[in-house]
Chains A and B, each alone.
Chain A
Amino acid sequence: GAGVSQSPRYKVAKRGQDVALRCDPISGHVSLFWYQQALGQGPEFLTYFQNEAQLDKSGLPSDRFFAERPEGSVSTLKIQRTQQEDSAVYLCASSPNRDRGPHEQFFGPGTRLTVL
């Protein structure tokens, strides 16, 4: 079956450019998470949606980062005026979260962003 997909897989941006990263979660999954993973580090939480509601955005590093999930399915992470420190792999994960309790997160392959 289809898993979580992300596009583009690789993105090279010049410093100052805006970028948009897309995540297609598994159909029917309620929860969607964005993580930033620097080389050799663990995934670092950025933000979390339940359906279209953004419940937690405490991990977004600055106001240059913005995420949306307008129809409760596809999500976009936008980074404005990219900086070199934004270079990382951006991972998206979804989970069914049909009821209370912890759920496995299904990760996409990630988008590797390089800011020159």
Chain B
Amino acid sequence: QQPVQSPQAVILREGEDAVINCSSSKALYSVHWYRQKHGEAPVFLMILLKGGEQKGHDKISASFNEKKQQSSLYLTASQLSYSGTYFCGTEPKTSYDKVIFGPGTSLSVIP
């Protein structure tokens, strides 16, 4: 039931791009993305609701392919502040409001 995330970890140099993927075995109502820094609470990035939807925030954007039950998070021109663990959360169509989080992708941006 837990979504699968890939890669597990990635190291980037400042300015490089990264893609984090999330896939689910269940039909999805929405996909949520959060970032958590070490020792802190997860912080909301964005929610994607409709299949084919794409959203962007600063240089972080995401897409949602409802048919494939997949979502991808795109980080462009990465900054040091992007370091952290990224979690996707999937909201199955069978259980509205219940968000199931993936295992996370650790992202480290180095100078």
Residues of A in contact with B (beta carbons under 8 Å apart): 4, 31, 33, 35, 40-45, 48, 50, 55-56, 91, 97, 100-110
Q: Is the CB of A56 within 8 A of B98?
A: yes
| B44 in contact with A56 (CB, 8 Å) | no
Per the CB 8 Å criterion, the residue count for chain B at the interface is 24
A91 & B41 in contact (Cβ 8 Å cutoff): yes
Interfacial chain A residues near B100, Cβ < 8 Å: 45
Smallest CB–CB gap between B86 and chain A, Å?
Answer: 10
Task: Out of A40, A56, A101, name the residue touching B49 (CB < 8 Å).
Answer: A101
Which of these, B30, B95, B97, B101, contacts A42 with CB under 8 Å? B101
Q: Are A41 and B98 in contact (CB under 8 A)?
A: no
Which chain B residues in 65-111 approach chain A with CB under 8 Å?
Answer: 87, 91, 95-104
